Amino acid sequence: MIDNRIFNFNAGPAALPLPVLQEIQSSFLNFDGSGMSIIEISHRSSWFDAVINDAVERTKRLLGLDDGFHVLFVQGGASLQFAMAPMNFLTNGRSADYINTGTWSTKAINEAKILHKNYSVVASSEDKNFSYIPKDISFNKDAAYVHITSNNTIKGTQWHAFPDTNGVPIVADMSSDFMSRPLDMDKFGMVYAGAQKNIGPSGVCMVILKKEMLDLATDEIPTMLRYATYASKNSMYNTPPCFGIYTIQLVLKWLEETVGGLEKMEAHNIAKGKMLYDFINNSDFYRTTAAPDSQSLMNVTFRLPTEELEKTFVEKATARGLGGLKGHRSVGGCRASLYNATTMEAVEALVNFMQTFEREN
Ligand SMILES: *Cc1c(COP(=O)(O)O)cnc(C)c1O
């Protein structure tokens, strides 16, 4: 731990790589020789152009994207994407398939409903409290897209392999596992991710959009809600969230140059998740809430024998410098978020604490 920094297991906003925070700190008063802070310079300046273009290029390199994709930065969080996707793509009576795997999927479905769009929920894990990822789904072959949530931040489940949709493009909310593993974009028409889980601060949402998908989008909606506006103006039709984009650029640089790419990142995430799941699975005191074949490497949700013990657990952990272990208020229990920036050292400290707590109780 450096300068009283805790081991941060928050679900979002969440831990960021320390070298990124240090670089922000050291360049904050004078960015790149400009004599100004990154939050003081014009978004029309060559300084900011270099930042946003580098963030786009690094994204394309990390994900192996060709020129068939747009990389966009949008405000309004992942929550605005719940509405923008149906607004843009569900025109002329076209319908979309949705898979409901928890709180965030439900919210995405609700927006299609509010907009009076055609959609069907083709699979749901609501019958078992969203503790698993549905299998053997049949899709409508004429759907405009299939919407999924790749990682369910609150329920602690994750798609380990993406469904075969018979060529219908997948639109995925990847807010809580974007850039945690390599991604084959062939199946996807669009991927979006609120930055504050795994790639930056809140206030900016990254959108990767296939150009063919953009061809289907309507322009009969307000300017700021059209993907085409962001695609044609390099995400700078209006003033973009400059600080957020700058932080994302530094996180992507860290992923490429320090971590060494998404395969290495995935291996590290698997090792961290394995350490914690192995410990919980060998314990009679703690138990996971997600089905074994659906467990998330990003958000490990678990219970203790009683709610009283869970409360004490979170309090004592916090006092020992292990923060953010309380489960989402809608489900209770405990949750350790192990995003990219969470170190193996943090997971070891957590497991040590869990062992001690089990012994003492
Ligand atoms: C946090 C989260 C959201 C909400 O993101 P906002 O940026 O706050 O709108 C949506 N989907 C998932 C999977 C999330 O984890």
The domain boundary, picked from 242, 259, 276, lies at 259
Residue 270 lies in domain: 261-360
Counted domains in the chain: 2
pLDDT value of position 26: 96
Distance 12 CA to ligand 1 centre (A): 8
Catalytic residue among 47, 97, 177, 197: 197
Q: How far apart are CA 32 and CA 356, in angstroms?
A: 48
Annotated catalytic, 104? Answer: yes
> What is the average pLDDT across 68-86?
98
Atom of ligand 1 nearest to the CA of 149: 13
Residues sharing a CB contact under 8 Å with residue 31, sequence separation 6 or more, in sequence order:
37, 38, 41, 47
Query: Using one digit for the tens of pLDDT, what is the confidence trace for 98-132?
Result: 999 999 999 999 999 999 999 999 999 999 999 99
CATH of the domain at 84: 3.40.640.10
Query: Using one digit for the tens of pLDDT, what is the confidence trace for 220-268?
Result: 999 999 999 999 999 999 999 999 999 999 999 999 999 999 999 999 9
Considering the domain architecture, whether residues 324 and 251 belong to the same structural domain is answered as: no
Residue nearest to atom 7 of ligand 1 (CA): 77
6 located within any domain: no
Considering the domain architecture, whether residues 110 and 191 belong to the same structural domain is answered as: yes
Q: Which residues line ligand 1 (CB under 6 A)?
A: 12, 77-79, 104, 149, 153, 173, 175-176, 194, 197
Q: What percent of the chain has pLDDT over 70?
A: 99
Nearest in space to 178 (alpha carbons), one of 204, 214, 139? 204
Task: Give the position of tokens 């690094």.
Answer: 58
Query: Using one digit for the tens of pLDDT, what is the confidence trace for 259-296?
Result: 999 999 999 999 999 999 999 999 999 999 999 999 99
Considering the domain architecture, whether residues 249 and 133 belong to the same structural domain is answered as: yes
Distance 19 CA to ligand 1 centre (A): 25
Give yes or no for residue 71 having a pLDDT over 90: yes
The domain boundary, picked from 238, 259, 280, lies at 259
pLDDT value of position 308: 97
Distance 299 CA to ligand 1 centre (A): 13
**Does 153 show up as a binding residue in the annotation?**
yes
Tokens of 256: 């490429």
Considering the domain architecture, whether residues 153 and 140 belong to the same structural domain is answered as: yes
**Does 303 show up as a binding residue in the annotation?**
no
**Does 295 show up as a binding residue in the annotation?**
no
Residue nearest to atom 13 of ligand 1 (CA): 175
Catalytic residue among 104, 155, 210, 254: 104
Considering the domain architecture, whether residues 341 and 195 belong to the same structural domain is answered as: no
Annotated catalytic, 47? Answer: no
Residue pair 24/244 in contact by the 8 Å Cβ criterion: no
pLDDT value of position 111: 98
Atom of ligand 1 nearest to the CA of 80: 9
Backbone angles phi, psi at 231, to 5 degrees: -65, -40
pLDDT value of position 64: 97
**Does 78 show up as a binding residue in the annotation?**
yes
Considering the domain architecture, whether residues 89 and 226 belong to the same structural domain is answered as: yes
CATH of the domain at 275: 3.90.1150.10
Residue nearest to atom 8 of ligand 1 (CA): 77
- Can you give the pTM of this predicted structure? 0.98
> What is the average pLDDT across 127-145?
97
pLDDT value of position 3: 73
1 located within any domain: no
Considering the domain architecture, whether residues 268 and 248 belong to the same structural domain is answered as: no
Considering the domain architecture, whether residues 34 and 126 belong to the same structural domain is answered as: yes
Q: How far apart are CA 3 and CA 1, in angstroms?
A: 7
5 located within any domain: no
Q: How far apart are CA 172 and CA 189, in angstroms?
A: 8
DSSP for 194-248, written as a single string: ETTTTTS-SS-EEEEEEHHHHHT--S-S-GGG-HHHHHHTTT-SS---HHHHHHH
Task: Give the position of tokens 């990822």.
Answer: 133
Residue nearest to atom 2 of ligand 1 (CA): 175
Distance 110 CA to ligand 1 centre (A): 14
Considering the domain architecture, whether residues 94 and 139 belong to the same structural domain is answered as: yes
Considering the domain architecture, whether residues 89 and 101 belong to the same structural domain is answered as: yes
Q: How far apart are CA 266 and CA 296, in angstroms?
A: 12
Give yes or no for residue 2 having a pLDDT over 80: no
Annotated catalytic, 173? Answer: yes
3 located within any domain: no
pLDDT value of position 97: 98
Task: Give the position of tokens 């055609």.
Answer: 118
Q: How far apart are CA 83 and CA 220, in angstroms?
A: 15
Query: Using one digit for the tens of pLDDT, what is the confidence trace for 311-342?
Result: 999 999 999 999 999 999 999 999 999 999 99
Considering the domain architecture, whether residues 194 and 85 belong to the same structural domain is answered as: yes
Considering the domain architecture, whether residues 68 and 217 belong to the same structural domain is answered as: yes
